[in-house]
Chains A and B, each alone.
Chain A
Amino acid sequence: MGYPHQPHAKETVVLSQYFGDPEARTYQGWVKRGGYAALRTALARKPAEIVEIVKESGLRGRGGAGFPTGLKWSFMPKEKSKPHYLCCNADESEPGTFKDREIMRWTPHGLIEACAIAQYAIQAEVTYIYIRGEFTEPLAIMQRALDEAYREGVLGANAMGTGKRLDMYLHRGAGAYICGEETALMNSIEGRRGNPRIRPPFPAAVGVFGMPTTINNVETLAAVPHILNRGAAWYKSLCLSNPKSTGTKLFSVCGHVRRPGNYEVTMGFPLKDLLYDLCGGMRGGRTLKACIPGGSSVPILNREETESCLLDYEGCATQGTMLGSGGVIVFDDSADMVYQIMRLARFYAHESCAQCTQCREGTAWVTKILQRILAGDGHQKDLDLLLDLSEQMTGKTICVLSDSCAAPVVSGIRKFRQEFEAYLTGARRPAGAGVAV
């Protein structure tokens, strides 16, 4: 449901069924709602069978890249010679995205159950749930639920009375967007600076503490118990457009819409309906100007593209963007695109881990050039310079943070060039460059 709103008829409520229901947060409440049944059936099966079911369901990663989850799990060594680990990525810091927070706040036991199933499927002894440091409330709720799960014998040395050992711990981040990147997250768990690692080796071979590791997003994992309960065929049937995108997806909508919040819809749902029906359209009767459908790291869509975009991996690609994490940022006709793109670039400049020259220098210079344009001191050549810089920042670095900074800049200049030119020609009054100025 579109927490904090009442469910809309066009929503398909699976993961968000108990959002807003405080009783579902407790162990007793969760069991009453059918919780931990999926874990019980999972533990009675062979790990490989669970991997097969998840593969069959078509579930793909909800953290950004959309990689098939069952396939990822199958990369873990079958013969166990070393400890295995599962990391649950709850670092959620991509501007526009706030769905994992709601999953943790309302259905903490759902996430614990999901992690326990995944952990068993990949034969890991320990799960680390990496939660960003600012999420004080989800941290407290998850800790309470974990304590309960240990007390009730769901976790621990004799998990669910099966004699199998399942351990699960929270690891609190300390303020760094980059720690959401999977290899940076592993470094952060190990007590290091959150610098992404060069791949290969991939985490399934050499992950956290040098051991085989799988990293999955909160929402990806949260879907797993539902798949086990209702079957892979059911999950696969949740599809409105392309059969390669299945299941439901939580979309976090923010910006200039009347009812921002989380909405759960079936893959392939029209973005237009999400914005105009579920979210009630633009605030104050204004008109839509632009939309970023998958979190700040993906290319911006203009109005026409937004209104014809279908929300699944392929539908977004058709419009030249990506589904990403499902963070939908909406701009109405009052938005100053140059200023907002500068603000996004500043985000990446602040969050770059500074290992790669293209990223460290590129993000900083892109921000400075955009600030210069906003201050009315831009040159005609600046737009070409920005495009050139963005080109140098794409596909050349250890992780894709650098590419993520370039995406909104390039698409912004391409689609809203007249706004940039208005600053360059002096047709538009110089704007400030933030509160500090």
Chain B
Amino acid sequence: MFDVRCPMLDTSLRDHRARGVDTEPFEYRTSNIEYRISNIGHRATIMNTHTAPYDPVFTGETRQRLDRVLERYPTKRAALLPALWMVQETRGWISDAAMTEVAEVLELTPAYVKGVVTFYTMYHQHPVGKHFIQVCTTTPCNLCGAEEVVRALLKHTGCRELGATSPDGKYTVTEVECLGACGFATPIMVGEDFLEGVTAEKVPEVLKRYQ
């Protein structure tokens, strides 16, 4: 067994086991919605990311891109959201170490950066499956069968529940609030791709494109 670190608790799973802590899926809450995180699903993606020395994001070309972004704003702080997007594009998620790097580059504190990261739902604070799938289930889409789409996605990806990553590490499925395409129910996002008019029947075909 690898000694992997659990990003939510920032301690290793092996430590937990040694202390007799239950390493089965655990729950956490953000605002009012409960999520369940499956440790099993995370294991594959977490390996080595925490033990390897930190590799900075803002070097070379990425640093130049950030410098161009900085020119658009009168303050450095204003480049925070764009900088966090750059981290997520290169790393897939935003680790505490990356937040510290962003803080240094923009002359902010790590705590401030974390405060902003946690406010916005699109920034991942832990690794997610290769394909991060978000399904709109807000009222207009709900009327048109969005929950059927969620059930079909859970079934066909093998994700055991919302927010959990499939055992093969390929998919994470979550619900999302209104995606601003309510007339084309049901819209879903797969990573950066925006798909319209997804139905439960179309799910297997959609997943074929994201292997």
Partners in one complex: yes
Q: Which residues of A contact B (CB under 8 A)?
A: 83, 92-98, 100-101, 126, 132-137, 167, 169, 171-177, 188-194, 209, 252-256, 260-262, 296, 327, 329, 331, 335, 340, 343-344, 346-347, 349-354, 363-364, 367, 434-436
Judged by a CB distance under 8 angstroms, whether B75 is at the interface is yes
| Cβ B177 vs Cβ A351 within 8 A | yes
Binding site of B, secondary structure by majority: helix, strand, loop or mixed? mixed
Q: Are B123 and A174 in contact (CB under 8 A)?
A: yes
Which of A133, A177, A194, A340 is in CB contact (< 8 Å) with B139? A340
Judge whether B161 is part of the interface by a CB distance below 8 angstroms: yes
Are A254 and B140 CB-contacts (below 8 A) given A93-B178, A363-B32, A436-B162?
yes
- Decide if B85 touches A189 in the complex (CB within 8 Å): no
A92→B187 CA distance, assembly (Å): 15
CB atoms of B184 and A260 under 8 A apart: yes
What residues of chain B lie closer than 8 Å to A347, measured between beta carbons?
Answer: 138-139, 177-178
Pick 28 A–B contacts, CB within 8 A, sort by A: A93-B177, A95-B140, A95-B177, A97-B180, A101-B180, A134-B189, A136-B194, A137-B194, A173-B120, A174-B85, A175-B123, A190-B77, A191-B75, A191-B116, A192-B77, A252-B182, A254-B140, A255-B140, A261-B183, A344-B138, A347-B139, A350-B31, A350-B177, A352-B32, A353-B119, A364-B32, A434-B147, A435-B154
Rounded to whole angstroms, the CA-CA distance of A286 and B184 in the bound complex is 20
B121: chain A residues at CB < 8 Å are 174-176
Q: State the Cβ distance, B128 to closest chain A Cβ, in Å.
A: 14
A135→B192 CA distance, assembly (Å): 9
Known: A175-B122, A191-B81, A349-B33. 6 other contacts (CB 8 A): A83-B74, A93-B180, A134-B194, A136-B189, A175-B121, A436-B34
Contacting residues, chain B, for A252 (C-beta < 8 A): 182-183
How close is A1's CB to chain B, nearest CB, in angstroms?
A: 13
Nearest chain A CB to B209 CB, angstrom units = 16
In whole angstroms, what is the CA distance A346 to B177 when docked?
9
Residues of A within 8 A of B137 (CB): 343, 434-435
**B144 close to A174 (CB less than 8 A):** no
Q: Which residue of B lies closest to A132 (CB)?
A: B180
Known contacts A137-B194, A174-B84, A331-B143, A254 near B31 by CB under 8 Å? no
B22 at the interface (CB under 8 A from A): no
Q: Is B80 an interface residue (CB 8 A)?
A: yes
Supposing A133-B122, A193-B119 touch, asked if A435 and B175 sit within 8 A by C-beta, the answer is: yes
Select the residue from A253, A350, A367 with max chain B CB neighbours within 10 A.
A350
B72 within 8 A of A: yes
Chain B residue with the shortest CB-CB distance to A101: B180
- Chain B residues contacting A352 (CB-CB under 8 Å) are 31-32
- Residues of chain A within 8 A of B84, CB atoms compared: 174
Known contacts A95-B138, A172-B85; is-contact A340 B31 (Cβ 8 Å) = no
Most buried by B among A189, A255, A296: A255
CB pair B161–A436 under 8 Å, yes or no, is yes
B85→A349 contact, CB < 8 A? no
Q: Complex Cα distance A172/B89, Å?
A: 13
**Are B180 and A134 neighbours in the complex by a CB distance under 8 Å?**
yes
Whether B75 pairs with A98 at a CB distance below 8 angstroms is: no
A262-B183, A343-B138, A349-B31 known; A190+B147 contact, CB < 8 A: no
- Least CB separation from A177: chain B residue: B177
**Are A190 and B180 in contact (CB-based, < 8 A)?**
no
Distance between Cα atoms of A260 and B184 in the complex (Å): 7
CB–CB B144/A255 < 8 A: yes
